[in-house]
Amino acid sequence: MSKTQQKPKILNVETVASSRMFRIQSVDLTFSNGESRVYERLLPEGRQAVMIVPVLNDNILLIREYAVAIEDYELGFPKGLVEPNEDVLVAANREMMEEIGYGARKLTVLSKLTLAPSYFASTMTIVLAEDLYEQKLEGDEPEPLTLVSWPQSKMIELLALSDFNEARNVSALFLAREYLNQR
């Protein structure tokens, strides 16, 4: 933000709907030029999320799971919510154990992402997991997830698949590829 930009003044915030996972708020704003707008924003119920790019030998590990919003199966990386008072790397390791049956001895934070920040106040930490070992924990998935092993040398080819197109997965792919290529 440049020094000349001034954040809009928030005049009123009102919760207009809520569910067990989200709150929708109406936010009345006045901008520094006098323009006023009413925006709606979606707030998660106070929890961060984590997405993990697991590396096993010369492969990355992905999962195929049902995505209700698009009513289809999506290929992507293991992910989940960070529990209250849980460290993000502990959450990353737990989610991997629940979803793919592996833990990691080495976890590296690659980035923290937002998704549609004009409307959605959510963050997701992208973590690279290396030096994997077999360890299974019971997860909360309604059906077994399909584990897909993909060659690191062909990571970019994931972009051609019709079921690998969710923005956070694509971002995680590029972040991991860049990190791995720099070594």
Ordered DSSP codes for 41-99: EEEESS--EEEEEEEETTEEEEEEEEETTTTEEEEE--EEEPPTT--HHHHHHHHHHHH
Evaluate if residue 132 carries a pLDDT over 70. yes
pLDDT average, residue stretch 118-140: 92
What does the pLDDT read at residue 168?
A: 94
Task: Give the confidence band of 43 by pLDDT, cuts at 50, 70, 90.
Answer: confident
Whole-number pLDDT of residue 74: 96
Residue 152 scores a pLDDT above 80: yes
131 pLDDT more than 90: yes
Q: What is the DSSP code (8-state) at residue 153?
A: G
Lowest mean pLDDT among 29-33, 73-77, 99-103: 29-33
Chain-centroid distance, C-alpha 35: 34
